[in-house]
Amino acid sequence: MKILAILYSGGSAAEEEKRLLGTTENQLGIRDWLESQGHELIVSDDKEGPGSIFQQHILDAEVLITTPFHPGYLTRDLVEKSKNLKICVTAGVGSDHIDLNACVEKGIEVLEVTGSNVVSVAEHVVMSILLLVRNFVPAHEMIERGDWQVSDIARNAFDLEGKVVGTIGCGRIGYRVLQRLQPFNCKELLYYDYADLPADASKAVNARRVADLKDLVSQCDVITVNCPLHEGTRNLVNAELLKHFKKGAWLVNTARGAICDKDAVAAALKAGQINGYAGDVWNVQPSPKDHPWRTMKNPLGGGNGMVPHYSGTTLDAQARYAAGVKSILENYFTGKPQEPANIIIGKGKYATKAYGQR
Ligand code: NAI
């Protein structure tokens, strides 16, 4: 069986650190196992354009493994050209880089390693909220420059205590963020999701659901985005919605870059409509060198907490999603049922509500 894996190149870091399992060098730790069963494994980071390894080998691969950190974009066109493709496995969580509707139509299954990195991301969200609210990045940059001017930082530094925090999407990650915010004594925790939290779960974190998105953002000091990218969430945070944010609110997005309009966010930050933006996800990955989110700033020269896409690929997360990919493949080879929570597209239909209400 031909298996194609599009992963990110780890360079010398991956040679030195074998726990970087999600790289082209360490190949999720599955090469020997696959080859011992007679399967062919092609691994590459070369994913763009018709001449790329991805676009050549997708034509006859039966299994495609991709990672959200260096997404191999499986477009409708490629789905149609892929003659043998039966199953796509996302090494991680978030399969928006795959044309899911095209996979439904063609009977291709799509699976993720659900839950594998949700704690990793939730921790990153809480860290990002704190670094924006407390104005951490400019403070650190000042120290590196050799300067010391406390008031330049303190004039835009606040406590998280007493603030209203809201999450757009309250699934595994969104809920874990609310759990991790408990000791900070926020004024209120809010969520916007078409799925209600079970009563005991919302009581446990003392969170209130807000049914209207404009209503949610207008009440929040901090907004965190934790829903998947799909037709209903692409560009959800756009110029119009940003007008309804509280002036000076902070926005954290570790879900997917394309959920927020890049130019509208950069303009809102520059104008001070929002005081900060942080996250690790970009509308195209790797992001171009001139992407506005790399350098955008608020009027005081701070408010940017952007990093490359890594929140869900800590070494702990890589161990979990590599093991999860192996288990999904094992089930596929032996015909065993897959874990229901891992199935995004089952046989010809969506198996989850997370990618939009249908
Ligand atoms: P989940 O499936 O447990 O939760 C997603 C929630 O979003 C669900 O409750 C769903 O009802 C809600 N939702 C969907 N559409 C919505 C909409 N239009 N408005 C409001 N809520 C909506 O997924 P999980 O595990 O919490 O992951 C969420 C997303 O986080 C992933 O799809 C992925 O895009 C991103 N992610 C990012 C990572 C990173 O490294 N930055 C790593 C893992 C996930």
User: Which CATH architecture best describes the domain 2-114+313-350?
Assistant: 3-Layer(aba) Sandwich (3.40)
Does ligand 1 have an atom closer than 6 angstroms to the CB of 226? yes
Does ligand 1 have an atom closer than 6 angstroms to the CB of 192? yes
Nearest CA to ligand 1 atom 19: 193
Residue list, annotated binding site: 93, 117, 172-173, 193, 228-232, 254, 280, 309-312
Q: Single out the residue of 57, 56, 97 nearest to residue 74, CA to CA.
A: 97
- Helices 118-133 and 136-145: crossing angle in degrees, nearest 10, is 70
Q: How far is the CA of 316 from the centre of ligand 1 (A)?
A: 20
Both structure tokens of 110: 């799509």
Q: How far is the CA of 354 from the centre of ligand 1 (A)?
A: 7
Average pLDDT, the chain: 98
Residue list, annotated binding site for substrate: 93, 117
3-state secondary structure 127-182: HHHHHHHCCHHHHHHHHHHCCCCHHHHHCCCCCCCCCEEEEECCCHHHHHHHHHCH
Tell me the pLDDT band of 358, cut-offs 50, 70 and 90: confident
Q: In this structure, how many other beta carbons lie within 10 angstroms of the beta carbon of residue 236?
A: 18
Alpha-carbon distance of 229 to 13, in angstroms, equals 30
Which percentage of the chain shows pLDDT scores above 70?
A: 100
Q: How far is the CA of 228 from the centre of ligand 1 (A)?
A: 4
Which percentage of the chain shows pLDDT scores above 90?
A: 99
> Where do the structural domains in the chain lie, given as residue ranges?
2-114+313-350, 117-306
Q: What is the mean pLDDT of residues 263-288?
A: 97
Which are the catalytic amino acids? 117, 256, 285, 309
Span 316-345, pLDDT tens digits: 999 999 999 999 999 999 999 999 999 999
Q: How far is the CA of 247 from the centre of ligand 1 (A)?
A: 26
Residue list, annotated binding site for NAD(+): 172-173, 193, 228-232, 254, 280, 309-312
CB 137 within 8 A of CB 127: no
Both structure tokens of 63: 């299994």
* Residue 73 confidence (pLDDT): 97
* Residue 1 confidence (pLDDT): 97
Counting atoms of ligand 1 from 1, which one is nearest the CA of 115?
Answer: 25
Does ligand 1 have an atom closer than 6 angstroms to the CB of 122? no
Does ligand 1 have an atom closer than 6 angstroms to the CB of 227? yes
Assess whether the region 2-114+313-350 and the region 117-306 belong to the same CATH fold: yes
Span 120-151, pLDDT tens digits: 999 999 999 999 999 999 999 999 999 999 99
Q: In this structure, how many other beta carbons lie within 10 angstroms of the beta carbon of residue 358?
A: 11
Q: What is the mean pLDDT of residues 171-187?
A: 98
Span 16-53, pLDDT tens digits: 999 999 999 999 999 999 999 999 999 999 999 999 99
3-state secondary structure the chain: CEEEEECECCHHHHHHCCCCCCECCCHHHCHHHHHHCCCEEEEECCCCCCCCHHHHHCCCCCEEEECCCCCCCECHHHHHHCCCCCEEEECCCCCCCECHHHHHHHCCEEEECCCCCHHHHHHHHHHHHHHHHCCHHHHHHHHHHCCCCHHHHHCCCCCCCCCEEEEECCCHHHHHHHHHCHHHCCCEEEEECCCCCCHHHHHHHCEEECCCHHHHHHHCCEEEECCCCCCCCCCCECHHHHHCCCCCEEEEECCCHHHECHHHHHHHHHCCCEEEEEECCCCCCCCCCCCHHHHCCCCCCCCEEECCCCCCCCHHHHHHHHHHHHHHHHHHHHCCCCCHHHEEECCCCECCCCCCCC
The pLDDT of residue 357 is above 90: no
- Looking at domain 117-306, its CATH superfamily turns out to be NAD(P)-binding Rossmann-like Domain (3.40.50.720)
Q: Which amino acid is at 147?
A: D
Does ligand 1 have an atom closer than 6 angstroms to the CB of 93? yes
Does ligand 1 have an atom closer than 6 angstroms to the CB of 354? yes
CA distances from 168 to 33, 69, 274, 313 (A): 40, 22, 17, 22
Q: Single out the residue of 132, 144, 157 nearest to residue 305, CA to CA.
A: 132
CA distances from 226 to 125, 234, 253, 351 (A): 9, 13, 7, 19
Ligand 1 pocket test: which of 95, 126, 173, 321 has the largest number of ligand atoms within 8 Å of its C-beta? 173
CB 83 within 8 A of CB 107: no
Query: Which residues have a Cβ under 8 Å from the Cβ of 109 and sit 6 or more positions away?
Result: 86, 87, 88, 103, 343, 345, 346, 347
- Residue 125, CB-side half-sphere exposure with 13 Å CA sphere: 32
Nearest CA to ligand 1 atom 35: 255
Q: How far is the CA of 170 from the centre of ligand 1 (A)?
A: 7
Q: How far is the CA of 173 from the centre of ligand 1 (A)?
A: 7
